[in-house]
Chain A
Amino acid sequence: MTRVFVSRDSTALSLGAGLVAKTLATEAQAKNLTIDIVRNGSRGMFWLEPLVEVETAQGRVAYGPVQAADIPALLDAGMLEGKQHPLFLGNIEQLPYFKNQNRLTFARVGITDPVSLDDYIAHEGYRGLKNALAMQQTEIVKHVTDSGLRGRGGAAFPTGIKWNTVLNSPAEQKYIVCNADEGDSGTFSDRMVMEGDPFVLIEGMTIAGLAVGATQGYIYLRVEYPHAHKALNEAIQAAYQGGYLGDDIQGSGKAFHLEVRLGAGAYICGEETSLLESLEGKRGLVRFKPPLPAIVGLFGKPTIVNNVISLASVPIILDKGGDYYRDYGMGRSRGTLPLQLAGNIKHSGLFEAAFGMTLRELLYDYGGGSASGRPIRAVQVGGPLGAYLYDDQFDTPLDYEAFAAISAVLGHGGIVVHDDTVNMAEMARYAMEFCVEESCGKCTPCRIGSTRGVEVIDRIVADIDKAKNVELLRDLCDTMVCGSLCAMGGMTPYPVLSALNHFPEDFGLQAARA
């Protein structure tokens, strides 16, 4: 039986992959062809989705982008034997966009059946857990520390240090919490892992549980991700059945339980302490730190809170060793970062690369420039709290420290591209509006300051007391940076000030770019 792959990834579905799979099934049946349709994750090359891949004697052959109406012709042309057709792409892994990536965390995404435990194990899955089960707790943590892995959720805090703190906080109950709130616009790597290879997250969390002695894990998933929810629940069930979750993991006598909890559309609940409040059933008000969640976390117990990508990178680290992972990257940014090309970009998608590539390479060599064909004018890296960059800054290497040096952040690796039709005063205003909408309300500079920020920008744009209001805006940003408890209020000034400084002409100011 020929295996044919059509993605179940949300973005592929948003382009019609569901109908493609359905049509393929009915057309094949009508033509008496026996096929096995696998609903895989996405390869992350979304300009080619819906992508259809066929397992042939010569290996996997891809066709795309395929619409349901193309199916009869594709079958007639001999798609199941990998024959030629205008939509023929050949071996997708030979395309430079794919070939030049370093797919460590995403090794299986787009390749396997996401909810098949057998498939996972056949593709090197659960090897990290196997190693971890034979190690002392401190040894597991040491591998993570040695890997140089830093939190991929935004703050880039060393994961090994966090785990060590939880390990050394004695308690009857500890928790592993996965932050799957992925609220940043322009990001979808967490979603792609959860939809395309949920077992790698489950394995990573199980290893974390073993490492620090936590027996219960929660995945706090944003409600906007119903397809990820489904895939996770299917995989969790399979893991329980296969003895990879439960009271006795693979006969080790060690327990780890896992459950998905849904958020409810609050961006601030991606902030780790707000997330914990939400998991406890409360409003997502940010907590004061200290105490750190690693010491007083969920229900007052020591808790690891890690991003999806951080946790999903753990299995390969435990499989191949901390050194293997650390050998990728530059400076203090070790390993790989799954970058997400979004917005106005021709070849949008997921690109997992070792740290060190420049933004320009990514935007032009792989991204292919803007989708509209117009010049790229502004690029926001690191989500809604990240700075807007302009052309002169595109040669900055993708590295935490290099970005910090230009007052920017890499964050969760989201890259939103705008062409020259963008109005940067509007984007600055939007950043303030977003803060109004999403502030948890605890600190005045964030709650009220953002409302004032919208008004001041409106006055600048309307040319009312321009010089005075620009000064006021800067003052206000200063107050937000200094007087906010968390990065919501504390970093909203990044997009606002970078827009003002790099694109003053959009505010009706003289273009005096330093």
Chain B
Amino acid sequence: MTQDYQNQKPVVLDVLAAHQAMPGNLLPILHGIQDNLGYIPADAVADIAAALNLSRAEVHGVISFYHYFRTTPPGKHVVRICRAESCQAMNGRTLEKHATQMLGIDFHETTADERFSLEAVYCLGNCACSPAITIDGDIYGRVTPEKFDQLIAACKGAQ
């Protein structure tokens, strides 16, 4: 068990206890852990498996199936860029390129200073105002490269 997980384990056990009686509880548990810790630590898999009477492979299989669950800590801010058709129709591909260059990382990566993680999403339901991104919990529409820079600068200013 890693040092980190010693601190994280009580959170995982709390989440497991809170969902004990719920039918079909694995996804709610994984959400609960990720909401609290920012990701699902590798060491948590054994605890989840034990609590739900599943094999570790089964739990791991579920975590890896879903794009949203992550197994590494995210940066301070998570930027999600929609890559789907509607956003492409409004210069989304240009925005994607700009964002990766500006942040200096590719999708599914985190900047070296751990400030930003960049994720791809396929539709945010904001297709009437493409291209769309989210930064942490906030959604933005009609995002040009200039607007992207402003939003990133605002994140930097706020820390």
A interface, CB within 8 angstroms of B: 10-11, 13-15, 46, 182-188, 190-191, 223-227, 261-267, 278-284, 299, 340-344, 348-350, 371, 380, 384, 414, 416-419, 422, 427, 430, 434, 437-438
CB distance from A301 to the nearest CB of B (A): 11
Contact of B89 among A11, A223, A265, A418 (CB under 8 A): A418
Contact of A437 among B27, B28, B122 (CB under 8 A): B122
The 5 closest A-B pairs by CB, nearest first: A281-B26, A185-B84, A265-B68, A343-B89, A264-B66
A186 and B62 within 8 A (CB): no
A422 and B69 within 8 A (CB): no
Contact of B28 among A188, A262, A282, A414 (CB under 8 A): A262
In chain A, what residue has the closest Cβ to B65?
Answer: A283
A261 and B127 within 8 A (CB): no
B68 and A185 within 8 A (CB): no
**In this assembly, does B103 line the interface, its C-beta being within 8 Å of a C-beta of chain A?**
no
Chain A residues whose C-beta falls within 8 Å of the C-beta of B86 in the assembled complex:
185-186, 342-343, 416
A264 and B31 within 8 A (CB): yes
Known: A226-B137, A348-B129, A434-B122. 12 other contacts (CB 8 A): A15-B129, A224-B125, A264-B67, A265-B67, A266-B66, A266-B68, A284-B66, A341-B128, A342-B127, A343-B127, A348-B128, A384-B84
How far does the alpha carbon of A417 sit from the alpha carbon of B124 in the complex, in Å? 17
Chain A residues whose C-beta falls within 8 Å of the C-beta of B61 in the assembled complex:
283
Contact of B128 among A266, A282, A342 (CB under 8 A): A342
Of residues 94 to 149 in B, which have CB atoms within 8 Å of A's CB atoms? 121-130, 132, 137-142
Chain A residues whose C-beta falls within 8 Å of the C-beta of B31 in the assembled complex:
223, 262, 264
A188 and B128 within 8 A (CB): yes
Q: Mark B78-97, 1 if CB is under 8 A from A, else 0.
A: 00001011111110000000
Q: Give 27 CB contacts A-B under 8 Å.
A: A11-B129, A11-B139, A14-B129, A183-B122, A184-B123, A185-B84, A185-B87, A185-B123, A187-B125, A223-B31, A227-B139, A264-B66, A264-B69, A266-B67, A279-B24, A280-B24, A283-B61, A283-B65, A340-B128, A342-B86, A342-B89, A342-B130, A343-B130, A384-B84, A416-B85, A418-B89, A427-B85
B137 and A10 within 8 A (CB): no
Chain B residues whose C-beta falls within 8 Å of the C-beta of A349 in the assembled complex:
128
CB distance from B99 to the nearest CB of A (A): 17
A265 and B128 within 8 A (CB): no
* B interface residues, how many (CB within 8 angstroms): 41
In chain B, what residue has the closest Cβ to A299?
Answer: B23
How far does the alpha carbon of A11 sit from the alpha carbon of B123 in the complex, in Å? 13
**Most central of B52, B67, B82 by chain A CB within 10 Å:** B67
Chain B residues whose C-beta falls within 8 Å of the C-beta of A282 in the assembled complex:
26, 62
Chain A residues whose C-beta falls within 8 Å of the C-beta of B45 in the assembled complex:
none
In chain B, what residue has the closest Cβ to A371?
Answer: B90
Chain B residues whose C-beta falls within 8 Å of the C-beta of A430 in the assembled complex:
85, 88
Contact of B125 among A225, A265, A281, A384 (CB under 8 A): A225
Contact of A223 among B68, B88, B126 (CB under 8 A): B68
**Most central of A187, A264, A282, A437 by chain B CB within 10 Å:** A264
**In this assembly, does B36 line the interface, its C-beta being within 8 Å of a C-beta of chain A?**
no
B62 and A267 within 8 A (CB): no
A265 and B26 within 8 A (CB): no
**In this assembly, does B55 line the interface, its C-beta being within 8 Å of a C-beta of chain A?**
no
Contact of A281 among B24, B87, B124, B132 (CB under 8 A): B24
In chain B, what residue has the closest Cβ to A42?
Answer: B128
CB distance from B13 to the nearest CB of A (A): 18
CB distance from A137 to the nearest CB of B (A): 25
Known interface pairs A265-B67, A299-B24. Does A14 touch B139 (Cβ–Cβ under 8 Å)?
yes
Contact of A262 among B27, B84, B137 (CB under 8 A): B27
How far does the alpha carbon of A419 sit from the alpha carbon of B89 in the complex, in Å? 7
How far does the alpha carbon of A348 sit from the alpha carbon of B142 in the complex, in Å? 12
Contact of B139 among A13, A182, A278, A437 (CB under 8 A): A13
How far does the alpha carbon of A348 sit from the alpha carbon of B122 in the complex, in Å? 19
Chain A residues whose C-beta falls within 8 Å of the C-beta of B24 in the assembled complex:
261, 279-281, 299
CB distance from A488 to the nearest CB of B (A): 13
CB distance from B122 to the nearest CB of A (A): 6
Chain A residues whose C-beta falls within 8 Å of the C-beta of B23 in the assembled complex:
280, 299
Chain B residues whose C-beta falls within 8 Å of the C-beta of A340 in the assembled complex:
127-128
B125 and A10 within 8 A (CB): yes
CB distance from B134 to the nearest CB of A (A): 8
CB distance from A348 to the nearest CB of B (A): 4
How far does the alpha carbon of A49 sit from the alpha carbon of B30 in the complex, in Å? 36
**In this assembly, does B150 line the interface, its C-beta being within 8 Å of a C-beta of chain A?**
no
Q: Mark B12-54, 1 if CB is under 8 A from A, else 0.
A: 0000000000011111101100000000000000000000100
Known interface pairs A224-B123, A226-B137, A266-B66. Does A344 touch B89 (Cβ–Cβ under 8 Å)?
yes
Contact of A15 among B30, B88, B89, B142 (CB under 8 A): B142
B141 and A11 within 8 A (CB): yes
B68 and A264 within 8 A (CB): yes
How far does the alpha carbon of A13 sit from the alpha carbon of B52 in the complex, in Å? 39
Known interface pairs A264-B27, A282-B26. Does A384 touch B85 (Cβ–Cβ under 8 Å)?
yes
Chain A residues whose C-beta falls within 8 Å of the C-beta of B128 in the assembled complex:
11, 46, 188, 340-342, 348-350
CB distance from A89 to the nearest CB of B (A): 18
Contact of A11 among B82, B121, B126 (CB under 8 A): B126
Contact of A266 among B65, B126, B142 (CB under 8 A): B65
CB distance from A307 to the nearest CB of B (A): 14
